[in-house]
Structure 1
Amino acid sequence: MQKPADIASLLTTNPDEGFALAIKLSRLAVKLTQPDAEIRASLRSAYEQDAMALVAVSHVVATHFATIAAANDYWKG
């Protein structure tokens, strides 16, 4: 498994950028786990109506965001 070339650092200038990075990390993890775009698209209908799956997605993004926030010293001056 290769490291995504476009994620050079967890450092961001503000929380909004940190949240966007958390989402990007989550999406890249799914893409690396299931590289076939057609399979990913076919699976989407299974989880897009599943409340527990959506909560799980939120948890993954929140975990990434917490890691990024810590790496950025919680954006303290």
Structure 2
Amino acid sequence: MKKFLLIPAMFSLMIGFAQAADSWLPTLKTDTPEQGFQLAIKMSRMGVKTAQPNMDVLKKGRAEYSNDAEDLIQVSHVVATNFATVAAANNYWK
């Protein structure tokens, strides 16, 4: 049940981030696919930081998930999903 309650809270935090005057994400537009991929990584990292703002807790978990193949595959999936979003926003760099 807690997982379902966390999603709306994360969404409102992310909306608050996007509306800030000094937004870290002013646009999804990039000049190249490589820049788009870097943006997808940044989006993924910011999502994690939004979900777990306590840096001590966040860093403590790295030793565990950085050596777990399933966790790394899940990370890749999140980055790929974000990259698909950025690619679509850039009309696939056509």
Question: TM-score band (shorter)?
Answer: over 0.9
Matched, 1:47 2:90: no
Deviation at 1:75, TM superposition (A): 0.3
Could you say which residue in structure 1 is the equivalent of 2:38? 20
Task: Provide the aligned length of Structure 1 versus Structure 2.
Answer: 76
Q: TM-score, normalised by structure 1?
A: 0.94
2:21 is aligned with 1:3: no
Where relative contact order (Cα < 8 A, 6+ residues apart) is larger, the structure is 1
- Show structure 1 runs of 4+ deviating over 3 A: none
Question: Is the helix fraction higher in 1 or 2?
Answer: 2
Unaligned runs of 5+ in 1: none
Identity of counterpart residues, as a percentage? Answer: 49
Give the superposition deviation at 1:73: 0.4
CA distance in 1, matches of 2:63, 2:92: 36
CA RMSD, aligned part only? Answer: 0.8
Determine helix, strand or coil for the equivalent of 1:3. Answer: helix
- TM-score, L = length of structure 2: 0.78
